Chain A
Amino acid sequence: MRGCTFLLMLICFVVGGCDRTASYPSRPITLVCPWAAGGGTDRVSRQMAILLEQRLGQPVSVINATGGKGVTGHSRGLKARPDGHTLTMMTFELNTMHWAGLTELTYEDCVPLVSVNEDYAALMIRNDAKWQSVAELESDVMAAPGTLTASGTALGGAWHLALAGWLVAAEMDADAVTWVPSAGAGPSLQQLISGGVDMVCCSLPEARTLLESDQVRALGVMSPQRAVGFEQVPTFLEQGSDWTLGGWRGLAVPRGTPTEIVDELLETLIPIVSEPPSIGNFAEFMEAQKFDHTWRGPAEFKEFLAENDRKLGALLKSEAMQSVNEDRFSPMTYPVILLGLIAVTLVGLVLTHEKGSGPNQPTSRSLPISRANVINVGSVIAAIVAYVCLAERVGFLLLVSVILFLLLVRFQTRIVTSLAITAVTVPFIYFVFAMILRVPLP
C-alpha cells in the first residue's frame, strides 16, 4: 500500500520535474574549478562567478572538484549536461593529462569560450644561492647531473614539464635535476626556504610574497616577454635559452551545448574580460592579484588550445621526456605493506581475543533485534541510494520531501506530524544551502 503511494507520487514528480523552461539561464549555474579553494584558479573562478552572476541574473556558484591532478574537475565540468548551466575553469592540465594516459578527455570535448589568463613558468632559488643567471645554473647542472633537486608541483605537472623541457632544450637529460613532487607551489616554496630543495619552478604570482620580501630570487621566466608586474625578472630568451612554457586558464562549456546558449554566454563574457581596469571589474582584480591578464576570444582560444595541445603532445611523447612520467617508486609497495600489517593485526586480535575473552563482550549483542528495526536500517540505506539515483531527474525539493516524509513515517512518526515537519524543514534546508551557501542542489 505504502509502496504504491510512493510509486505514484514519484511518477507525478518525474513528470512534473521535467518541465524546464527554455529561456537561458533558467536555473542556477555551476562553475567547476578543478583546483582547491584558496589557490589561484579558485580565486579567479570565484571572481568570475560574481561578475557572471551580476550580468546573468542567476546565482553562479563555484564548486571545487579537486584531485586526480585536475582530471576530476575537468571531467566533471566537461561531461556535464550540455545546457550551459555548467561552466568549467579549464587549466593547462587539460592538454597534458590525456597524453599521460590519465583520461580520454581532450580539448575537443569542450566548446571554448574565453581564455582569461596566462602565467609562465619561472625558476626560483633562495636569495643567498650562488647562481646569478640561468647560464650559471645550467653549467652547474651539466657538471654534476642528478645532484640538484627541484620542486613545484606533482609528478608530471605543468611546472615539472617546464623544468624538464628547459633541461632538454639545453641538451641535458630531463631528469638531470631531480624532481621532488609536491602538493603545489606553496609547500614547494616552503621546502625551498628550509633548504629541502635547491630550486622551485612555478609561476611568478605564486611566489610573489617571497619575491617581494627578498627571501627568494627569480632567475628567469620562461615567457616570450617579461611578465607584467614582474619587469625586473629577465626572460630565459634574454639569457640565451629559447624555451618557453606557460600555464593558462580559460572558460568552456561541454561539447554539444546549443549555439544560442554559447552565443549568449559569450555576449556576457567578452565584455567582462575585455574591459580596461576600473573599480570592481575583472581586469582590476587580475591586476591586484598580479595575475597576467591576456585574454582570447572563442576562435583564438580554440586555435590556441589546438596548438598548445600539439606542442605538449610532441614534448610528452618525445624520447627525452619519458622520464617525466616514470614512477620513481613502485606505487603498490606501500598499500601492500599496509595490507600485510592489517593481516598481522587481525591475526593478533584473534589470538588475544581467545586468550583474554570474557568481561569485554559487547553488551548489545545480547539484545534481540526485531524485524521492524532491520527494515528501519534498510530504509535508511534505501533512502540514500534513492536520493543518488533520482536527484538529477526529480529535483531536490520534491525528492527530499518524499524521502524525508517516508522515513519519518517509517520511524513511526504520526502522518500529520511528518507532513508538518517535511513542509517546514525541506524548504528551510533548501533556502539555507542553495540560496545562502550556494550549494548547487539539483
Chain B
Amino acid sequence: MITAGIESVFQWDVLAVIAAAAIYGIAIGAIPGLTATMAVALMVPLTFYLDDVQAIAAIVTTVTCSIFAGDLPTTLVRIPGTPASAAYADDAYALTRAGRHVHALHVCLWCSVLGGLFGVLVLVFAAPPLAQIATQFTSFEYFWLYLLGLSCAVIVSPGSRLKGFLALLIGLLLSTVGLGTDFSAPRMTFGFDQLITGVRFIPAMIGLFGISEVLRNALRPDELPQAESSKIAAVDAETVSSLDQEKDSNRGLGVLLWKRKLSLFRSSTIGATIGMLPGAGADIAAWISYAVSKQFSRHPKQYGHGSTEGLADATGANNAALGGAWIPALVFGIPGDSVTAIAIGVLMMKNITPGPGIFAADANPDQTTLVASIYVTFVVANLMLIPIGLAAIRAASLLIKIPRRILLPLIVMFCIIGSYSMSGSYFDILLMLAMGLLGFTLETWKVPLGPIVLGLILGGELEHRFLQSLTVSSDPSAFFANPISITLGGLCILLWSWPLVTRFRNNRAGG
C-alpha cells in the first residue's frame, strides 16, 4: 500500500505541485493576518483542475509550510504569522533582540520538520485506534480540555502569575463580546453593529503584538535591543556577523536537537493528540506543550525571555498537530480543524468519501492508495520544507538589516492590510489599533500579552462547552463521568492547586 502511495506521489507533476504549494504556503504563512486556513481556502477553486493526488498534495504542503512560515514574522518582528505561533512569540522575539534570530529560526525550522514527521508517523500507525478516543469527547471533556489550555497560558506566562491571570481574564472578557451560539441577543457591543461578530482574533493579535511593538519602538527608539534581554546568554549582535552566526548555530543546533530528543518526542505526542480532537488544533497544541516543557525544564526562568527549549517544543507540537488533524478526518469524515474541513470538501468533490471504508484495502484499492499518498505527501512536504524554509530564513533575515526608521512604517502598512484582508472590514483595522494601544499599555505594566490571545480564541469555546454541558445535564457529577473527563479535570485542578502546594511546602521548609 505504501509503495503504491510512493509511486503515485513521485510523479514529476505531483512533485511540481508540492514545490509550488510549498512556496505559496511559506509566502502566505509569513504574512501576518493570512492564516493557513485562508491559504487553503484560496486554493480550493484551483484543486478543481487538479487530479486527486495533486489536490491533496497541494493542501497538505501548503498547510505544513504556512504553519512553519508563521514563525518568521513572529521571530523577526513579533507579529505572529498564524495563531499557532503566538505561544512562543516572546521567546522567539527575545532571541532576535539578542541578535540570535538565525539560530531561533533554524530551531523553528528543524523542530517543525521533526514534529511534522512525527505527526505523520502517528497518523500512519495509530489512526484507527486513536480515532476512537476522539469519539469519546463530549462537551464535558471539551470543557476540561479548553480549561486546561487556558490554565497553561497562565502557567507559562513569564514573571508574575497574577499578571498572567489578569491578561487571561481580559482575553476571556473580550471573547464574550458579540452574539454567541448559545444566546438570542448580542452582548456588550456598546451600540457598534460590527461588534456583533465579536472581537476577531486576527486583527486583535496583529494589534496586540505588532502595533504595540511599533508604538514602543516609536516612543523609545534609543533603547538598545540588548537592554531587556539580559537574561539570555549574551551574544553581541553587532560583532557576530550573520554568516558566522549561521555556522555557529548549525553546530549548536545538532547538539540542541539531540539533547532535546525526548522532550521533542513528548511535545510531538501532545501535538498529534490534541490536533486529532475536532475543535482543538495547532494553537492549543503549542500552548499546552510549551507549558509542559516549562514544567519539566531545568531552566524555567528562561521561558518567555528567549528560551530555545520552549521554542523547540512548542514549534514541534504545532506541526505535529497537523498530521493529527487528519486522523478523525480520514477515519470518520469529521474534520480535526478548519483546514481538514476544506480538505474533506475537496476529497468529496473527487468522489472520495472519508470514513472507515477508506482503510479497507480489498473493497476499494483506489482509495487506499490515496490514503497512502496522503502519508507520503506529508513526508515529502516536510522534507521539502527544509530547503525552502532555509531559503526563506535567509531572505527574511534581511528584514533585520533594514534600519528601524524604514521598517516601522512598513510594518504599520502590513498591520493595516493584514487585519483588513481576513474579512475586508475597516472596523477590523480600528479594532487592531485599539488592541495595539491596549497591548502597549499593558506591556508597560509588564502584563504578558500571550494569555489575552489564547483567552480570546478559547474563551468563547469554554463558555459554549460549559453551557452545552449544563444543558445536557445539570448534575455537577456529570463533569467527572468517564475516565477522560476525570483525567483532564484532575489535571486542571492539579495545575491550579500546585502553586498553593509548593508555597505551603516552602513555608514549612522555611519556617
What count of chain B residues pass the 8 Å CB interface test?
112
Complex Cα distance, B399 from A425, in Å, reads 14
Q: Are B181 and A39 in contact (CB under 8 A)?
A: no
Contact of B182 among A102, A155, A178, A194 (CB under 8 A): A155
* Min CB gap A282→B, angstroms: 11
Chain B residue nearest in CB terms to A334: B463
> Is B32 located at the chain interface by the 8 A CB criterion?
no
Q: Are A331 and B187 in contact (CB under 8 A)?
A: yes
Contact with A along B129-156 (1 / 0, CB 8 A): 0000011111100000000000000000
Chain B, range 147-200, C-beta contacts under 8 Å to A: 159-160, 162-163, 165-166, 169-170, 172-173, 176, 178-188, 193-194, 196-198, 200
Complex Cα distance, B181 from A364, in Å, reads 44
Contact with B along A246-263 (1 / 0, CB 8 A): 000000000000000000
Chain A residue nearest in CB terms to B172: A338
Q: Are B406 and A421 in contact (CB under 8 A)?
A: yes
Known A38-B342, A68-B179, A329-B470; contact A215-B332, beta-carbon cutoff 8 A = yes
Query: Given the complex, which residues of A lie within 8 Å of B243, measured CB to CB?
Result: none
Contact with A along B257-300 (1 / 0, CB 8 A): 00000000000000000000011000000000000000000000
Q: Are A191 and B138 in contact (CB under 8 A)?
A: yes
Complex Cα distance, B430 from A381, in Å, reads 10
> Is B458 located at the chain interface by the 8 A CB criterion?
no
Q: Are B176 and A404 in contact (CB under 8 A)?
A: no
> Is B344 located at the chain interface by the 8 A CB criterion?
yes
> Is B386 located at the chain interface by the 8 A CB criterion?
no
Known A38-B338, A194-B136; contact A404-B410, beta-carbon cutoff 8 A = yes
> Is A320 located at the chain interface by the 8 A CB criterion?
no
* Min CB gap A149→B, angstroms: 6
* Min CB gap A225→B, angstroms: 23
Known A189-B334, A408-B405; contact A209-B344, beta-carbon cutoff 8 A = yes
Q: Are A363 and B355 in contact (CB under 8 A)?
A: no
Contact of B44 among A43, A346, A369, A383 (CB under 8 A): A43
Q: Are B341 and A75 in contact (CB under 8 A)?
A: no
Complex Cα distance, B415 from A429, in Å, reads 12
Contact of A377 among B219, B339, B429, B430 (CB under 8 A): B219
Dominant secondary structure at the B interface:
helix
* Min CB gap A278→B, angstroms: 14
Q: Which of B116-124, B369-377, B417-425 contacts A (4 or more CB under 8 A)?
A: B417-425
Query: Given the complex, which residues of B lie within 8 Å of A346, measured CB to CB?
Result: 166
Q: Are A210 and B406 in contact (CB under 8 A)?
A: no
Contact with A along B397-431 (1 / 0, CB 8 A): 00000011110111011111100111111100110
Contact with A along B203-235 (1 / 0, CB 8 A): 000000001001100111111000110000000
* Min CB gap A236→B, angstroms: 25
Contact with B along A390-433 (1 / 0, CB 8 A): 01100000001001100110011100010001000100010011
> Is A308 located at the chain interface by the 8 A CB criterion?
no
Contact of A68 among B197, B342, B350, B432 (CB under 8 A): B197
Complex Cα distance, B200 from A360, in Å, reads 33
Chain A, range 37-91, C-beta contacts under 8 Å to B: 37-39, 42-43, 46-47, 49-50, 63-69, 71-72, 75-76
> Is B11 located at the chain interface by the 8 A CB criterion?
no
Complex Cα distance, B341 from A186, in Å, reads 9
Known A178-B471, A349-B162; contact A66-B423, beta-carbon cutoff 8 A = yes
Contact of A413 among B406, B412, B467 (CB under 8 A): B406
Q: Are A339 and B173 in contact (CB under 8 A)?
A: yes
Contact of A285 among B139, B349, B432 (CB under 8 A): B349
Query: Given the complex, which residues of A lie within 8 Å of B444, measured CB to CB?
Result: 362, 364-365
Contact of B405 among A193, A280, A387, A413 (CB under 8 A): A413
Query: Given the complex, which residues of B lie within 8 Å of A67, measured CB to CB?
Result: 178-179, 196-198, 200
Q: Which of B34-42, B77-85, B96-104, B312-320 contacts A (4 or more CB under 8 A)?
A: B34-42
* Min CB gap A86→B, angstroms: 10
* Min CB gap B197→A, angstroms: 3
Complex Cα distance, B227 from A208, in Å, reads 58
Chain A residue nearest in CB terms to B217: A376
Complex Cα distance, B411 from A407, in Å, reads 11
Complex Cα distance, B170 from A209, in Å, reads 40
> Is B255 located at the chain interface by the 8 A CB criterion?
no
Chain A residue nearest in CB terms to B183: A331
Chain A residue nearest in CB terms to B196: A68
* Min CB gap A438→B, angstroms: 7
* Min CB gap A284→B, angstroms: 10
> Is B252 located at the chain interface by the 8 A CB criterion?
no
> Is B128 located at the chain interface by the 8 A CB criterion?
no
Complex Cα distance, B423 from A76, in Å, reads 10
* Min CB gap A43→B, angstroms: 5
Q: Are B468 and A439 in contact (CB under 8 A)?
A: no
> Is A7 located at the chain interface by the 8 A CB criterion?
no
Chain A, range 304-340, C-beta contacts under 8 Å to B: 325-329, 331-332, 334-335, 338-339
Q: A72-B194, A212-B357 are in contact. List 19 more A-B contacts (CB 8 A).
A: A37-B41, A39-B341, A47-B45, A179-B471, A181-B464, A182-B181, A186-B341, A329-B467, A329-B470, A349-B162, A349-B166, A360-B446, A380-B214, A380-B218, A400-B413, A411-B406, A411-B409, A413-B406, A437-B42
6 of the cross-chain contacts (CB-CB < 8 Å) are A37-B41, A181-B464, A181-B468, A196-B139, A280-B48, A437-B28
Top 5 nearest A-B pairs (CB, nearest first) are: A209-B333, A213-B355, A67-B197, A196-B138, A68-B196
